[in-house]
Chain A
Amino acid sequence: MINRLWMRLTAHIDSLLLGFILLLLLIGLVVLYSATDQDLGKTTSQMANMAVALAFMWGIANVPPQHIARLALPMYAVGLLLLVGVALFGDVSHGARRWLHVGVTRIQPSEIMKLAVPLMLAWYLDKREKTLNLKDYGVAVVLLAAPVGLIMKQPDLGTSLLISASGFYVLFLAGLGWRIILGLAGIFAASAPILWSLLHDYQRQRILTLLDPSQDPLGAGYHIIQSSIALGSGGVFGKGWFNGTQAHLDFLPERTTDFVFAVFSEEFGMAGNLILLVLYLLVIGRGLVIAAKAPTLFSRLLAGSITLTFFTYAFVNMGMVSGILPVVGVPLPLISYGGTSMVTLLLGFGMLMSIQTHRKLVQS
């Protein structure tokens, strides 16, 4: 009886993927405990976030992919409406308009788009599978550009780039021609000066700062300099748990969220970094395998995009903290403190699991 219940509960869980995810979450808790100066309260609240997110993951994993596909259009439409709402009535926080009041709580619609965009594009391309032509790709690009433009306007460069990436992965995996990809890249490069002029001063500053952090050591360069010091002084084996001076003496900004990797790296060194990279690679690898085995175009595109977007999160965050990418507000997936992104991420993984575990049913 219990056995059957267990079977029922875990039927749509991919245990490999879950195992890797749990290991990453564990690392996240370990780092968070240190980064919060052993604040049990904050660590516990992160565990609650994880529990909620895992529940969401389990929930969506039990939804068959074809049902998930039905969510695409409404989710995308609502997300887009909310984004327009934000642009019109949103709350301004830290100089950016990202939040929208809905009753008692406030939500960040760009978060919805992180899943809605790949869903929408995968669903749309899957629908047009038989007659897929250039026009369909054009529609897909428009579907991608609308939310990205609105989010960029907020301004939230980090999220808009990640959503662009997730959309691009769908198009790329759907077989968008190399010439078109190169063409798009060429257009992007050519329009760089125009984009540059559209950027906010602080965004330009971040990019300039990346090129030479020492130019503005107390201003925009401060984050990069301090996190580089944290990594570099961590050495091969790190300073040990709780022993990171950069972290505990407040030199690191945002040390529980965007810069949590610096805390980890200072205390666990390059060895820790390699372990983390391996775990990320395992998650990504599993994701790619699921995508490769997925039965429908929709599920393939969705799984591939979710996995590669997850990679992008990890790469951009670590690249930013180690000073090879500009500072954009991207958390380290599964490690950074925060409930919303955790839920979004695990919903994504839930979809992966759904695709993996409902495969046989579709095939049969």
Chain B
Amino acid sequence: MNRPAELRDHQRELYYFRWRLGVAAVGVVLLFTLLVGRFFFLQVVQHEYFRTLAENNRITIVPIVPNRGLILDRNGVVLAHNYSAYTLEITSSKVKDLEATINDLSRLVDIQPRDRKRFRKLLEESRNFESLPIRARLNDVEVARFTANRYRFPGVEIKARLFRHYPKGELASHAIGHIGRINDADLEMLEDSDDMANYRGTDHIGKLGVEQSYEKQLHGITGFEQVETDAGGHALRTLSRRAPVSGDNLTLALDSRLQEIAEKAFGQYRGAMVALDPANGEVLAFVSKPGFDPNLFIDGIDPTSWDALNNSIDKPLNNRALRGQYPPGSTFKPFMALAGLELGKRTPSYTISDPGYFMLAGNSHHYRDWKQGGHGSVDLKKSIIVSCDTYYYGLANDLGPDNIFNFIGQFGFGKKTGIDIEGETTGLLPSREWKTKRYKQKWYAGDTVSVGIGQGYNLATPLQLAFAVSILANKGVVVRPHLVRSIQDSATSQLRAVQARPDAALDLKPENLELVKEAMIGVTQPGGTAASVGANAPYLIAAKTGTAQVVAIKQNEKYVASRIAERHRDHALFIAYAPADKPRIAMAILVENGGHGGSTAGPIARQVMDYYLLGKVPPVPVAEGPDAVEEEHD
């Protein structure tokens, strides 16, 4: 071992080591420079971008759902309100085993099979990230029990929510309608209307009736809170808040007591009634029997209840007053009579001799009057009082289809009335043009004859009939019917009356109106087809009975109600207004399979008028049921 060599070796080794160390040091500096570059990129170049992300991370906008407006009747009786209660809700996307979770929950909270079924249905219809109620209206014990076990149920939570409730149940359900959970179709509609932002946080929307058509007013304006949240989504503090604005309260023109009396008066019958204030078009009663309990629909109806309602042959979900289309029958006659007078085809004194049938020139077909052997000598007034068919066969033939279409059309037949709920049907007032289009056939003289007594192609809804008779009562002034009387602005508490301005005033001669009125008063007087309706009334009732055929009766066959299956019996119709001189109420009533208008529909009208005009409450319902049909016919 010589020392210099070792030293040299040692030196070279050290030199070599330091060189390697230098390489490493350069590496260190380079890599740290890389980090600096990365910091520069994140913290300088992209700073704004990340700042925004951090803000979005931390701030969540939480919508505050406004209270839905109340619905009241004209006297302030509550028809729809909200109450606060707890629901148990599941966000299915956060739950691993839904079935097991529900089973576990059912040990803490009462969950019926119908709740499960309802929940399944909601699940199918919903967007999968929203929380859906498995149970509504938890009681305090259930709330406490769940809260204590909450940690076991991720994705399940209790929510305090406002619930819609319809305290009167079935009463006026077809007019009030109901709300229901927002579905895809509603969402599309909201997106189209640019209202989406206002529905953040809202689960329900009006689906039917006033709840639907006044959705905008009832919903209110959603408030919001800017909340600072942590990564778990827990709200820590509120940064800013805009209070929600409650929905407006609606006062309906409907008188719930009147409505109740009318609905009771129908007894077991199916049918519809619309009562209007002729002067301003306010809907005083709006009946479609049978009704349904709107409370069932709010959080999704369970399949059993749904099947029961949907498959019932009574069709309780069908809004007969708004959508039911029936031949107007003899209730068409006052309008025909007025047409004859106004268009100069008849004078008050013009008299026919009724043999009990009508024949068109050159045709042997007998258009029969309802009364075999006829009514003898009949002028215009008597034609209404006894409801002479023969008179109107001839009148219709003289007027011709165009005159009938144009004149009667002024009373709203064949058109929507424009009432403030959706889904109205138009009925049908036939014309040559319509027949060509619909059947590719020309119009026959026989068509005109049938139309003259409200049969044939004629169809009208009970609402249209009520509207038409109210125009008659209002001496030709047309006022659109409406259910809502006033809207109370929730912010200012100011009432805004809904006043339908007269849409038109028909050009009618007072003496002609007077004559038709007198004839209609005669209907409820001794000798009229509804004499019993006017019996002992301290006010005059102008009315007209009607019958709508359900099954066609062959020539030479007599209609005998008792021989015909109940569902094939004729529908009874009744239109009226009272007091005849200064009308305050006008109405149309339809009783399905009720037979003769005067005997089943008439008493309902009388009870309604007695209550509305005199405040008289009927002791017991008059019409007991379908078996009480008399063998009478107009």
Question: Which residue from chain A places its CB closest to the CB of B53 in the assembled complex?
Answer: A229
Which of A10-18, A20-28, A147-155, A245-253 forms part of the interface with chain B?
A245-253
Picked from B18, B20, B57, B228, the residue with its CB within 8 Å of the CB of A229 is B57
Question: Which residue from chain A places its CB closest to the CB of B57 in the assembled complex?
Answer: A251
A48 to B612, CA, bound (A): 90
Task: Given A292-B18, A292-B21, decide whether A232 and B46 contact each other with a Cβ distance below 8 A.
Answer: yes
CB B41 to nearest CB in A, in angstroms, measures: 9
Q: How many residues of B contact A (CB 8 A)?
A: 37
Q: Is the CB of B47 within 8 A of A175?
A: no
Q: Which residues of A contact B18 (CB under 8 A)?
A: 292
Complex interface residues of chain A between 201 and 250 (CB less than 8 A to chain B)? 226, 228-236, 245-246, 249-250
Q: Is the CB of B50 within 8 A of A270?
A: no
Question: Interface on chain A toward B: helix, strand, loop, or mixed SS?
Answer: helix
Which of B24-32, B102-110, B194-202, B586-594 forms part of the interface with chain A?
B24-32
* B193-230 to A contact mask, C-beta < 8 Å, 1/0: 00000000000000000000000000000000000111
* A58 in the interface (beta carbon within 8 A): no
Q: Which residues of A contact B20 (CB under 8 A)?
A: 172-173, 175, 304
Q: Is the CB of A249 within 8 A of B13?
A: no
Question: Interface on chain B toward A: helix, strand, loop, or mixed SS?
Answer: helix
Q: Is the CB of A273 within 8 A of B39?
A: yes
Task: Given A233-B51, A315-B32, decide whether A175 and B229 contact each other with a Cβ distance below 8 A.
Answer: no
Q: Which residues of A contact B55 (CB under 8 A)?
A: 245
A300 to B46, CA, bound (A): 43
Q: Which residues of B contact A228 (CB under 8 A)?
A: 42, 50
Picked from A229, A274, A291, the residue with its CB within 8 Å of the CB of B54 is A229
Complex interface residues of chain A between 56 and 98 (CB less than 8 A to chain B)? none
Q: Is the CB of A304 within 8 A of B24?
A: yes
Task: Given A232-B46, A245-B54, decide whether A277 and B21 contact each other with a Cβ distance below 8 A.
Answer: no
Q: Is the CB of A311 within 8 A of B44?
A: no
Q: Which residues of B contact A250 (CB under 8 A)?
A: 230-232
* B160 in the interface (beta carbon within 8 A): no
CB B396 to nearest CB in A, in angstroms, measures: 75
CB A280 to nearest CB in B, in angstroms, measures: 8
Q: Which residues of A contact B236 (CB under 8 A)?
A: 249
A228 to B42, CA, bound (A): 7
* A354 in the interface (beta carbon within 8 A): no
CB A244 to nearest CB in B, in angstroms, measures: 9
Q: Is the CB of A245 within 8 A of B32?
A: no
A232 to B57, CA, bound (A): 13
Task: Given A173-B20, A270-B39, A291-B21, decide whether A233 and B230 contact each other with a Cβ distance below 8 A.
Answer: no
Q: Is the CB of B43 within 8 A of A235?
A: yes
Question: Which residue from chain B places its CB closest to the CB of A176 in the assembled complex?
Answer: B20
A233 to B55, CA, bound (A): 9
CB A65 to nearest CB in B, in angstroms, measures: 16
Complex interface residues of chain A between 289 and 326 (CB less than 8 A to chain B)? 291-292, 297, 300, 304, 308, 311, 315, 318-319, 322-324
* A269 in the interface (beta carbon within 8 A): yes
A173 to B34, CA, bound (A): 23
Complex interface residues of chain A between 166 and 223 (CB less than 8 A to chain B)? 169, 172-173, 175
Task: Given A175-B16, A277-B32, decide whether A249 and B46 contact each other with a Cβ distance below 8 A.
Answer: no
Task: Given A304-B24, A322-B35, A324-B38, decide whether A236 and B54 contact each other with a Cβ distance below 8 A.
Answer: no
Question: Which residue from chain B places its CB closest to the CB of A173 in the assembled complex?
Answer: B20
Interface residues of A toward B: which range?
A: 35 or more
Q: Is the CB of A175 within 8 A of B17?
A: yes
Q: Which residues of B contact A273 (CB under 8 A)?
A: 35-36, 39, 43
Picked from A226, A235, A300, A322, the residue with its CB within 8 Å of the CB of B47 is A235
Q: Is the CB of A232 within 8 A of B49?
A: yes
Q: Which residues of B contact A231 (CB under 8 A)?
A: 39, 42-43, 50
Q: Which residues of B contact A270 (CB under 8 A)?
A: 39-40, 43-44
Question: Which residue from chain B places its CB closest to the CB of A169 in the assembled complex?
Answer: B24
* A121 in the interface (beta carbon within 8 A): no
Q: Which residues of A contact B229 (CB under 8 A)?
A: 249
Task: Given A175-B20, A232-B46, decide whether A324 and B34 contact each other with a Cβ distance below 8 A.
Answer: yes
User: Among the interface residues A232, A300, A304, which one has the most CB atoms of the partner chain B within 10 A?
Assistant: A232
* B416 in the interface (beta carbon within 8 A): no
Question: Which residue from chain A places its CB closest to the CB of B50 in the assembled complex?
Answer: A232
CB B63 to nearest CB in A, in angstroms, measures: 21
Question: Which residue from chain B places its CB closest to the CB of A278 in the assembled complex?
Answer: B32
CB B311 to nearest CB in A, in angstroms, measures: 46
* A347 in the interface (beta carbon within 8 A): no
* B257 in the interface (beta carbon within 8 A): no
Task: Given A246-B54, A292-B21, A322-B39, decide whether A232 and B47 contact each other with a Cβ distance below 8 A.
Answer: yes
* A284 in the interface (beta carbon within 8 A): yes
A241 to B163, CA, bound (A): 47
CB A137 to nearest CB in B, in angstroms, measures: 14
Task: Given A232-B50, A249-B230, decide whether A288 and B35 contact each other with a Cβ distance below 8 A.
Answer: no
A323 to B54, CA, bound (A): 16
Picked from A175, A232, A304, the residue with its CB within 8 Å of the CB of B42 is A232
* A134 in the interface (beta carbon within 8 A): no
Task: Given A228-B42, A292-B21, A322-B38, decide whether A233 and B231 contact each other with a Cβ distance below 8 A.
Answer: no
Q: Is the CB of B25 within 8 A of A234?
A: no
Q: Which residues of A contact B25 (CB under 8 A)?
A: 284-285, 288
9 contacts between A and B (CB under 8 A): A175-B13, A230-B54, A235-B51, A249-B229, A265-B39, A273-B36, A315-B31, A318-B35, A322-B39
When A and B form their complex, which 10 residue pairs have the shortest distance between CB atoms, in order from nearest?
A232-B50, A233-B54, A250-B231, A250-B230, A249-B230, A270-B43, A232-B42, A233-B50, A251-B231, A235-B47
- Residues of chain B touching chain A, judged by Cβ–Cβ distance below 8 Å, are 13, 16-18, 20-21, 24-25, 28-29, 31-32, 34-36, 38-40, 42-44, 46-47, 49-51, 53-55, 57-58, 228-232, 236
- Residues of chain A touching chain B, judged by Cβ–Cβ distance below 8 Å, are 169, 172-173, 175, 226, 228-236, 245-246, 249-251, 265, 269-270, 273-274, 277, 280-281, 284-285, 288, 291-292, 297, 300, 304, 308, 311, 315, 318-319, 322-324
Supplied contacts A229-B54, A284-B25, 13 more A-B pairs, CB within 8 Å: A173-B21, A173-B24, A226-B231, A228-B50, A229-B57, A235-B51, A250-B232, A265-B43, A277-B35, A288-B25, A297-B13, A304-B21, A324-B34
